[in-house]
Amino acid sequence: MLTARSRAGNAVSAESGARRLLIGLCVALVAVFLVLPLGVVFWHAFSEGLRAYGQAVFDRATFHAVKLTLFTTAIAVPLNTLFGVAAAWAIAKFEFRGRSLLVTLIDLPFSTSPVVAGLCFVLLFGANGFFGAFVNRTYAVSLGFTSFEVSTRVIFALPGIVLATVFITFPFVARELIPLMQAQGTEEEQVARVLGANGWQIFWRVTLPNIRWGLLYGVILCTARAMGEFGAVYVVSAGSSDQVTLPLHVERVYYANMVRVVPAFAVASLLAGVSVITLAVKAAVEWRFKGELKKTDGG
């Protein structure tokens, strides 16, 4: 007969063994599916030395792709940050009709394929799209001393890339802030209102300081997603040779140099580097402000 102490010891030993097995399995999966591919990218990128790497990275087309990616991100992230803060504030702090519908619509990009999202923009703003007759126009502007043309084209142009990127990164800031603001409640805002603060004062001095680290976390994720978006951007810009973001440039360089893969991997290492930096910043934010982020995850 086993004593109660021996049974408890066996249970603890079995639990410890199961824990070690699960941890080992997780580490192995992360190593095979995440660390190994990342290492392969950098291995091939530097396989022919720094000179070949530099030629691919500092290529004119690569520079243009990086510039377009950064410019698109600089537009999409602030727009989604403003929307995310406004939506989270409305959903978490107020009761109104359609609140659940708004939350569902915010999650829509998570359940929609990026390729389908890009196709929707083509069907809306393409030459034969629903709004195609209104947006695909070119206007001549004359200022007396100079004249130039202004195009309202959306698809196969910068506006289409921005729209696709904004749609894909739409939920990230809002979904990080909504649970955090719901967990914090409205007590502090109500106290500030009783003390005579107006709406903007309440937001800048009470709400924003309480959500600043959750907001930073959402902006980090939104930025990383915007810079790495491929599917939707590919659909709305595939016919344009001069509107190529960095992920699209990786694909074009790869198919142009299928025998010699160093240029493609060199350009891909830029995106991989952005991912590593994003992961490091994300980990630093989680470590420094883990209490607030736990509220976000728990909400």
DSSP secondary structure of 69-96: HHHHHHHHHHHHHHHHHHHHHHHHH---
- Residue 276 in any domain: the answer is yes
In a domain, 101, yes or no: yes
289 and 161 in a single domain? The answer is yes
Q: Compute the average pLDDT of residues 265-275.
A: 88
CATH number for the domain including 219? 1.10.3720.10
Question: How much is the mean pLDDT over the chain?
Answer: 83
Domain housing 14? 8-45
- Tell me, yes or no, whether 38 and 107 share the same domain: no
Instruction: Please report whether residue 166 resides in a domain.
Output: yes
Q: What is the dihedral of CA 199, 205, 206, 210, to 10 degrees?
A: 130
For residue 24, is it within any domain?
yes
- C-alpha torsion 125→129→130→136, nearest 10: 50
Q: Specify whether 19 is located in the same domain as 129.
A: no
Q: Are residues 59 and 17 in the same domain?
A: no
Q: Is residue 35 part of a domain?
A: yes
Q: Return the sign of the alpha-carbon dihedral for residues 238, 243, 245, 249.
A: positive
Is the same domain home to 115 and 23? no
Task: Mark whether 98 and 244 lie in a shared domain.
Answer: yes
Q: Answer yes or no: do 273 and 126 share one domain.
A: yes
Q: Is residue 1 part of a domain?
A: no
Same domain, 17 and 147: no
pLDDT at residue 168, rounded to an integer = 93
Strand (E) positions, the chain?
Answer: 138-142, 147-151
Do 77 and 225 fall into the same domain? yes
The structural domain count of the chain equals 2
Please report, rounded to a whole number, the percentage of residues in the chain having pLDDT higher than 90.
17
Give every CB contact of residue 206 below 8 A, 6+ residues apart in sequence.
188, 189, 192, 197
The pLDDT value given to residue 289: 65
Q: What angle do CA 263, 268, 272 make, to 5 degrees?
A: 150
Q: How confident is the model at residue 163 (pLDDT cuts 50, 70, 90)?
A: very high
39 and 59 part of one domain: no
Structure confidence by residue, pLDDT tens digits, 70-117: 999 999 999 999 999 999 988 988 888 888 888 889 988 988 889 999
CA–CA gap between residue 174 and residue 82 (Å, rounded): 9
Per-position b or e across 62-72, b if 16+ CB within 10 A of its CB: bebbbebbeeb
